[in-house]
Amino acid sequence: MEANAIEVRNLNISFDGVKVLEGVDFTLGVGETHALVGANGAGKSTLVKILNGIYHKDSGEISVFGSSTPYDSAQGARERGIAMVYQDLSLVPPLTVTENIFLSRPPFRKGIFLNTAKAHDEAVKILASLGVDTVIDPDSRIEDISVGQQQLVEIAKALSLEPRILILDEPTASLSNSEINVLFRVIERLKGRGISIIYITHYLRDIFKICDRVTVLRDGSVVLAKPVAETDIWELVHEMVGGQAETSVVWKRTEPAPGVKPLLELENVTTRSIRDVSLHVFPGQVVGIAGLLGSGRTELFRALYGLDRRISGRIVVNGREVAIRSPSDALAAGIALVPEDRRKQGLVLDFSVEQNIMLPILRKLRGKMLLSGKKSGTLVDHYIKYLMVKTQDRRQHVRYLSGGNQQKIVVAKCLASEASVLLLDDPTFGVDIHSKLEIMRIVREFAAAGKAILFVSSEFKELAEFCDEIYILKKGSVSGDVRRNVTEDQLMQMVQ
Amino acid sequence: MNVRISSKINLRNSVIYIVFAGIFALFSIILFNKGFLSPDNLLNIARQTAMISIMAVGMTFVLCVAEIDLSFGAVVALSALVTAMTLRATGSIPLSVLAGLGSGVAVGLFNGFFIAQIGIPSFLVTLGTTGIVSGIARWISHLQSIPIDNDAFVFVFGSGDLGPVPILFVWTLIVAVIGVLVLKKTAFGLKTLATGGNKISALYSGIKTNRIKLGVMVLNAVLAALAGILYAGRLHGARYTLGDSDVMIVIAAVIIGGTSMFGGKGSVIGSVLGALIMGILNNGLILMGLDVDQQLIFRGIIIITAVTLTMREKKS
Ligand SMILES: Nc1ncnc2c1ncn2[C@@H]1O[C@H](COP(=O)(O)OP(=O)(O)OP(=O)(O)O)[C@@H](O)[C@H]1O
Ligand SMILES: [Mg+2]
């Protein structure tokens, strides 16, 4: 019998005395695409980081293609043919796309010098195989491209290693449909070449498109492992949360009551990257912004949040024009933001959960002179419960939270700011299906309490179902405005 | 809040206690016969390290905000001279102290402006400022010492004792306690750590990171100015060479104390302990009868050893 690509037996690991994986068995067959799913903090990333040599198991056996010689670094994993796309991207921001793609393999040389021309051509080839050679310039720096593009570069980097086992940890979290479809075609091709793939995702529907088997983790233990053909989305969710849970909700739309003034108005706002954008949001409304990568949806938020300088145009909050030149002006005007990149823009990783949530509202937490630990404690504990954050307590450093739980902290920060206008840039990025619905419900609650919500998502399905009104952005300008019910496909057409 | 200093001493911080205890015990044994443990000598150490401790508190904030300040040594001299000269000219203690502290504020604002507003790396700015400030100190004093004979000033700022307690010890205690509270329990402290930990996230959280950096540079310069005033009081006079040799010692004390050079993490208590280690080293090496060259070499070796220990602990 041929050995499996990966076999894991009775794997255990704990951090600070807290068990994170307990008695995990996991088998990845050769040529198989294996979905790994579970709620935020279930231990998915931890499991694959062990397989990739980043974390070191406490006990258990791991064999790769029948060999159980231990390895303890990503280099060791690579020698066994394993490559991984990390959930928290591992790219070096000041380096170029090309340099990043070839960072973890021996460089192309010409004599003693680097052969940059060859590296460039190879990078273009790999990007072309992902169908994005026209969107991503191999010479641009990582820090200058969007998160979605970075994710594609990360995938290109793993492919450049020509692995026999490819691990993808939430590779599609910030990709839009067309890019996801390309990725799926790449996966099909790799499958055809007999490459084994571990695919972690919170988009359970995708599993049924591309995966052969699925393993569900709950609180660090395997609760289900079977061929995809023998299960369905409801069973998966049921196993993930350990009980009944919804998989989708039909949101009720709210029409602005007649005579009510808009809470947020933009009049002909122009910056370096957007042109003449006008829109309004009424209290109680959730307004979506649909656009492709580079359409200016994030830049619109940057303008509103005082990050990009406004060249012309007015921003009016609650009937009063506001001068916003910095995020602190925006917060003072009652505008809060969930930024697109949680680790770079949303969190101080070496701060505790509590300190992170406190940051925008320090003024409100002051006692006579010193900060009041009591006030912040109560507030933070409330949000931990409200958003179902999996953390040891409010003092745990966010660096050690799972990706989805970090995202929840960013959302909590925004909600706790008591702003009247919430700018949400992919707020449920990396959040599991159950918590996601919960967060959407909370956003709806906030809207119902008279706040104005602007919502950006790379998922058009989510926009179509969730928003009361959707503005279409193209090349930095508003090209349309949809108030009736639309479908995902119609939206897709409109943004092209 | 991250104020559970006593209930959950993290490993990195606890190493500093061990290093401190180790060096203290070592000298107590080797130098037992030379009076290392005598009350007089211990009080002497307290006096000698007061200024280093006070400057270390300021430097903790600077490193926490992910900047560096090389110019505070020059500020010590400038402030001491300005204070002494004002005192001689006016005879007014409050006026002279304000003038001294004011010179610190001015240098801090200058540094902060170029670092925060113009965005020049603090290493370069403060290297430049060091030149400017020491130049001014030499120029206004004509390279002469300026004596102070005001008894009240000398008592309060450095030479006096309250019962058995040296007044310098009181100054250290006040600055250290305020430093601990400000860093861990005020909005300013948290904003400092956030700015140093992740400037972009701090900015997105509505923190005026430029203003925080400016504030920290001013704070550090003011504490250096205070140290200068205390030197003037203790030495009954001021001279342009004051503070020269303190820069490296203070930075080393802060790093040994567990503050990260990359920003976002720091401990005021650790820095004060680091300063005490430096003081004990100085004192011990002198008592051992080593000459200046040997002292330099030994001090260097011990600093590197101590930092290695704290770093190792951090990794595990
Ligand atoms: N280095 C670490 N130190 C302490 N705790 C950790 C560490 N890494 C992970 N954890 C904890 O282990 C648990 C599992 O985390 P993991 O990142 O594997 O979750 P996940 O299943 O990938 O979740 P998500 O869907 O949110 O990415 C979490 O509760 C997390 O807090
Ligand atoms: Mg994860």
Q: Is the dihedral of CA A298, A303, A308, A313 positive or negative?
A: positive
- Choosing from A402, A408, A439 the residue with most ligand 1 atoms within 8 A of its CB, the one to mutate for a pocket test is A402
Give the long-range contacts of residues A440-444, CB within 8 A, separation 24 or more: A440/A249, A440/A251, A440/A466, A441/A249, A442/A386, A442/A387, A442/A415, A443/A286, A444/A251, A444/A286
Q: Which tens digits make up the pLDDT trace of A281-302?
A: 999 999 999 988 778 888 999 9
Residue A439 distance to chain B (closest CA, Å): 21
User: What is the C-alpha to C-alpha distance for residues A390 and A166, in angstroms, rounded to an integer?
Assistant: 28
Q: Tell me which residue has tokens 């203790």.
A: B234
* Partner A contacted by B202 (CB < 8 A): yes
| pLDDT for the residue B302 | 81
Query: What are the sequence ranges of the domains in chain B?
Result: 32-315
Give distance in angstroms: CA of A45 to centre of ligand 1: 7
CB contact under 8 A, A370 and B181: yes
Tokens describing residue A440: 């959407």
Give distance in angstroms: CA of A393 to centre of ligand 1: 14
For the question of whether the overall pTM of this predicted structure is more than 0.80, the answer is yes
**Strand A477-482 relative to strand A469-474: parallel, antiparallel, unpaired?**
antiparallel
Instruction: Spell out which residues line ligand 1, taking CB within 6 angstroms.
Output: A 15-16, 20, 38, 40-46, 87, 390, 400-405, 432
Tokens describing residue A165: 């086992």
A122, A106 Cβ separation under 8 angstroms: no
User: What is the C-alpha to C-alpha distance for residues A151 and A2, in angstroms, rounded to an integer?
Assistant: 34
- Whole-Å CA distances, A139 to A97, A105, A320, B143: 6, 18, 44, 56
With left for phi above 0 and alpha for psi between -120 and 50, is residue A107 left, alpha or beta? beta
- Whole-Å CA distances, A433 to A39, A180, B170: 8, 18, 59
DSSP state of A292: -
DSSP state of B257: T
Per-residue tens of pLDDT for chain B, all 316 residues: 333 333 334 555 577 888 888 888 988 888 888 888 888 888 889 898 999 999 999 999 999 999 999 999 999 999 999 999 999 999 999 999 999 999 999 999 999 999 999 999 999 999 999 999 999 999 999 999 999 999 999 999 989 999 889 999 999 999 999 999 999 999 999 999 999 999 999 999 999 999 999 999 999 999 999 999 999 999 999 999 999 889 989 999 999 888 988 899 999 999 999 999 999 988 888 888 888 899 889 888 887 887 787 666 544 3
Residue count of chain B = 316
Beta-carbon contacts of A192 under 8 Å, excluding residues fewer than 6 positions away, are: none
* Ligand 1, atom 28, residue with closest C-alpha: A41
Q: Tell me which residue has tokens 């933001």.
A: A337
Report the DSSP beta bridge partners of residue A280: A265
- Choosing from A401, A407, A411 the residue with most ligand 1 atoms within 8 A of its CB, the one to mutate for a pocket test is A401
The pocket of ion ligand 2, defined by CB under 5 A, consists of: A 45, 87, 402-403
Report the DSSP beta bridge partners of residue A335: A421
| pLDDT for the residue A172 | 87
3-class secondary structure per residue, A172-230: CCCCCHHHHHHHHHHHHHHHHCCCEEEEECCCHHHHHHHCCEEEEEECCEEEEEEEHHH
Amino acid letter, B77: A
| pLDDT for the residue A17 | 85
Find the helix packing angle between B292-315 and B246-256, rounded to 10°: 30
Q: Which tens digits make up the pLDDT trace of A189-241?
A: 889 889 999 999 999 999 999 999 999 999 999 999 999 999 999 999 999 98
Beta-carbon contacts of A324 under 8 Å, excluding residues fewer than 6 positions away, are: A304, A305, A306, A310, A315, A330, A333, A335
The correct CATH number of B32-315 out of 1.10.3470, 1.10.20, 1.10.357, 3.90.70 is: 1.10.3470
User: What is the C-alpha to C-alpha distance for residues A89 and B277, in angstroms, rounded to an integer?
Assistant: 42
**Strand A312-317 relative to strand A320-321: parallel, antiparallel, unpaired?**
antiparallel
Tokens describing residue B56: 């270390």
Give distance in angstroms: CA of A458 to centre of ligand 2: 19
A282, A262 Cβ separation under 8 angstroms: yes
Amino acid letter, A255: E
- The parts of chain A modelled with pLDDT lower than 70 are 1
- Whole-Å CA distances, B161 to B46, B156, B157, B167, B168: 12, 9, 10, 5, 8
CB contact under 8 A, B187 and A351: no
| pLDDT for the residue B2 | 36
With left for phi above 0 and alpha for psi between -120 and 50, is residue A418 left, alpha or beta? left
User: What is the C-alpha to C-alpha distance for residues A305 and A315, in angstroms, rounded to an integer?
Assistant: 10
- Whole-Å CA distances, A357 to A354, A388, B132, B187, B198: 5, 15, 42, 13, 14
* Partner A contacted by B199 (CB < 8 A): no
Residue B265: which of A345, A350, A352 has the nearest Cβ?
A350
| pLDDT for the residue B4 | 33
| DSSP conformation letters of A345-401 | II--TTSBHHHHHHGGGGGGGB-SSSB-HHHHHHHHHHHHHHTT---S-TTSBGGGS
User: What is the C-alpha to C-alpha distance for residues B300 and B65, in angstroms, rounded to an integer?
Assistant: 26
**Strand A109-110 relative to strand A113-114: parallel, antiparallel, unpaired?**
antiparallel
User: What is the C-alpha to C-alpha distance for residues A177 and A185, in angstroms, rounded to an integer?
Assistant: 12
DSSP state of A86: -
Q: Among B183, B203, B185, which residue's Cα sits nearest to residue B193? A: B183
Q: Phi, psi at residue A255, to the nearest 5°?
A: -95, 140
Mean model confidence pLDDT for chain B: 90
B195, B115 Cβ separation under 8 angstroms: no
**Strand B146-147 relative to strand A477-482: parallel, antiparallel, unpaired?**
unpaired
CB atoms within 10 A of CB B186: 17
| pLDDT for the residue B312 | 60
With contacts defined as CB-CB under 8 Å, which chain A residues touch B265?
350
- Whole-Å CA distances, A181 to A156, A176, A291, B44, B226: 15, 9, 17, 74, 65
Give the long-range contacts of residues B116-119, CB within 8 A, separation 24 or more: B116/B209, B116/B210, B116/B211, B116/B213, B116/B214, B116/B217, B117/B210, B117/B214
Burial track A176-214 (b if 16+ CB lie within 10 A, e otherwise): bbebbebbeebbeebbeeebbbbbbbbebebbeebbbbb
With contacts defined as CB-CB under 8 Å, which chain A residues touch B2?
351-352, 355, 395
| pLDDT for the residue B315 | 43
**Which A residues in the span 413-472 are in contact with B, Cβ-Cβ below 8 Å?**
413
Residue B187 distance to chain A (closest CA, Å): 6
Helical ranges in B65-121 per DSSP H: 72-90, 93-112
Amino acid letter, A383: Y
User: What is the C-alpha to C-alpha distance for residues A208 and A184, in angstroms, rounded to an integer?
Assistant: 12
| pLDDT for the residue B6 | 33
